Amino acid sequence: MISLIAAIGKNNELGKKNALLWNLPADMKHFRETTSGYTVIMGQKTFESIGRPLPNRRNIVLTQDKNFKQEGVEIVYSPEEAETLLDKDTENFVIGGGMIYKLFIDKADKLYITHVDAEFSDADTFFPEIIPVVWNETSHEEHTKDSENPFDYTFSIYEKFF
């Protein structure tokens, strides 16, 4: 099973210059708890922005750079090659970036989306549109901003209708 996990602004904003546009510790905790123990797939730029393999996860990096080498990750050169490495009996999480989400959204069975209740006009990277006739929201958990999380946010899970 392929799942995408992302935090997005009101206009599907993901980031700017290879960095997130917000700091939401609750979302980072949610990400860690959701993906821990599973395979994560990311693009090279996302991997480089993190700076290391994510602990307690199998890390797959998708790149076009045949010279890219990194200890602690498995390197693939196409979404199809990544799919051959996945355990079909468990969840596998695509964690970004924008190009990688676009490559995998049609292959995904489930989306874990943190909706950040804010707009970020300086964003340069966006999540693909979540089309209502394709995706059914099956879980919706609203949270109000607090001293650590500067925006209201909602954890949503979407499952493909077909």
pLDDT in tens, 94-149: 999 999 999 999 999 999 999 999 999 999 999 999 999 999 999 999 999 999 99
Q: Is the pLDDT of residue 35 over 80?
A: yes
pLDDT at 162: 75
Q: Tokens for 111, please give them.
A: 């989306």
Instruction: Return the pLDDT at 74.
Output: 98
d(CA 134, CA 131): 5
Distance CA(57)–CA(38), nearest Å, equals 5
Give all strands of the β-sheet with 74-76 in edge-to-edge order. 74-76, 58-62, 39-43, 92-94, 2-8, 110-116, 153-160, 135-143
Residue among 145, 143, 103 nearest 127 (CA)? 103
Smallest CA-to-CA distance from 155 within 117, 106, 103 is with 117
Q: What is the domain partition of the chain in residue ranges?
A: 2-160
CATH 1.10.10.10 fits 2-160, yes or no: no
Q: Does position 16 have pLDDT exceeding 90, yes or no?
A: yes
CA angle 30/4/149 to nearest 5° reads 30
**Cα–Cα distance for residue pair 26/1, rounded to 1 Å:** 25
Q: What is the pLDDT of residue 145?
A: 97
Cα(34)–Cα(157) distance, rounded to whole angstroms?
Answer: 12
Percent of the chain with pLDDT over 90: 98
Q: Is the pLDDT of residue 42 over 90?
A: yes
- Cβ neighbors of 157 (< 8 A, separation 6 or more) are 110, 111, 112, 113, 137, 138, 139
Radius of gyration, alpha carbons of the chain = 15
Averaged pLDDT, 52-67 = 97
